[in-house]
Amino acid sequence: MDKKKAVIVGGGFGGVKAALELQKNKKLDVILVSDNPNFEYYPGLHKLVGVSEHAVVSIPLATIFKNKNVTVILEKVMGIDGDKKTVTTSSQTISAEFIVVAVGSQTEYFGISGLKEMAFGLKSVAQAMELRAHVEEMFQKHAKADKAEAVMGLHMVVVGAGPNGTDLAGELASFGRMLAKKYAIPETMMTIDLVEGAPRVLPMMSENVSMRVMKRLQRLGVDVLCNRDLRKEEGWTVEFADMKIGAKTLVWTAGITTNELVKNIPGLILGKKNRIAVDDYLQPKKTDGSSIQNVFIVGDAADTKFSGLAQTAITDGSFVANAVQSRLANKELKKYVPQPIAYNIGVGPRWSVFVMGTFEFFGILAYAMRSLIDTRFFLSILPVGEVWKLYFKK
């Protein structure tokens, strides 16, 4: 019997999970297409801009799919035709019976003047390493500078007090103190501002969580400025509605939209953040009211209740793998039900907040749980020996 073909677009959480599940089915040839040779563990990116001695943030796709029934194609995807069941890359067009769209998200700048050109991001390993190198360069450059120049050069602004922004601000504070000691600069020369447009940090959480995280940030030396909206970024000055800040480092974590590839899929309904409207089986809805059969949307690209989180993408990848296998076996598909999620948000080294429903706890125990969650995920995609190498190989 000829095998059916499943093409997965994207090598993030949802794509990798779907590929690992689907490759177990002997009736399928599984192809994963990505323009990145590595799977990047985004929840760990902040550690690259902190004081952690060892941060596991990047794993080659070749390692994940070693000895697996998955063909990895490292090319940029130019377009997807759901009706024709084709994926067009920079060099070829691939036809398949099933397509899984797991393209993730990218930064949204909202048309703010100068922001895209001047601000640092935190959506990839490359961006995190660029930011780290820049911050150390600022300390090195201003070690012998006069006071006024040093104060501006060591002023860092993080815009967006969601999970990424709070995590990063806490790490930058610790990293900055380490660099101040290294270059013999008084810590008081350094300023870190965390700016948020909402009335409080982590506005999606309870007021108790916001208050505890605010206190933690202040203990770390982070200045928190709420109810502030960024207007303009020029590299030397950062302009808000009520003030200008002199700073040479601005990190933008406040805007996210779905990968621009979704705009190259004809006939879809795009909602908030360009997420694709889906039916009860994560198949994309068309403007005529129908759904594109055997095309599935997972993770950040799907307009579902908890879209945008890694754990949702993993759940989606597993759900879609089961849906494809049900189709192969001519079984009825189960309906998609969004799964309850838990948040574990770091705020500087060895401290985090864990939230599940109304249950909340804070501190080093929550951080230990976060470390266990990381390890559990790595064990779900790699053999034990490979996970050991991730943590202990020098």
Q: Both 128 and 189 in a single domain?
A: yes
Residue 348, domain member (yes or no): no
Q: Which of 17, 22, 34 is nearest to 76 (CA)?
A: 34
Angle at which helix 207-220 crosses helix 163-182, to 10 degrees, equals 10
Q: Is residue 390 included in any domain, yes or no?
A: no
Q: What is the pLDDT of residues 190-203, one digit of tens each?
A: 999 999 999 999 99
Distance CA 385, CA 394 (A): 15
Rounded Cα gap, residues 24 and 149, in angstroms: 60
Q: Are 39 and 161 in contact (CB under 8 A)?
A: no
The last residue of a domain, from among 226, 252, 278: 252
Of the listed ranges 52-56, 217-221, 292-296, the one predicted with least confidence:
52-56
**Number of domains, the chain:** 2
Residues 161 and 238 in one domain: yes
Q: Cα separation of 158 and 316, whole Å?
A: 31
pLDDT digits (tens, 9 = 90+) for 124-164: 999 999 999 999 999 999 998 889 889 989 999 999 999 99
Is residue 91 packed enough to be buried (19+ CB in 10 Å), middle (13-18) or exposed (0-12)?
Answer: exposed
User: Across the chain, what does the average pLDDT equal?
Assistant: 91
pLDDT in tens, 330-350: 999 999 999 888 999 999 888
What percentage of the chain reaches a pLDDT higher than 90?
A: 70
pLDDT exceeds 80 at position 177: yes
Confidence (pTM): 0.91
pLDDT digits (tens, 9 = 90+) for 279-309: 999 999 988 889 999 999 999 999 999 998 9
CA distance 243 to 148: 19
Q: Sign of dihedral through CA atoms 336, 337, 342, 347?
A: positive
Instruction: Give me the DSSP letters along 325-341.
Output: HHHHTTPPPPPP-PPP-
Higher pLDDT, 202 or 394: 202
Would the pLDDT of 53 be above 80?
A: no
Which of the listed residues 321, 342, 363 is the one where a domain comes to its end? 342
- Selected residue with higher pLDDT from 231 and 313: 313
Q: Region 225-248: what's the mean pLDDT?
A: 79
Whole domain around residue 203: which residue ranges? 115-252
Same domain, 129 and 247: yes
Most confident of 8-12, 108-112, 121-125, 227-231: 8-12
pLDDT band of residue 1 (cuts 50, 70, 90) is low
Tokens of 43: 């929840």
Contact predicate 294/99, CB 8 Å = yes
265 lies in the same domain as 237: no
In which element (H, E) is residue 165 found?
helix 163-182
In the listed set 221, 252, 283, which residue is the last one of a domain according to the structure?
252
Pseudo-torsion of CA 58, 61, 65, 71, nearest 10°? 170
Together in a domain, 54 and 67: yes
* Single-letter amino acid, residue 367: Y
Where does the pLDDT of residue 115 fall: very low under 50, low under 70, confident under 90, or very high at 90 and above? confident
Same domain, 200 and 230: yes
CATH number of the CATH domain containing 173: 3.50.50.60
Closest CA to 202 of 157, 245, 146, 160: 160
Residues 159, 89 within the same domain: no
Give the pLDDT of residue 312. Answer: 94
The pairing of beta strand 105-107 with beta strand 237-240:
unpaired
Say what the pLDDT of residue 7 is.
Answer: 97
Domain identity same for 309 and 240: no
Same-domain pairing of 215 and 282: no
Chain centroid to CA 100: 19
Measure the CA–CA gap between 111 and 109, rounded to whole angstroms: 5
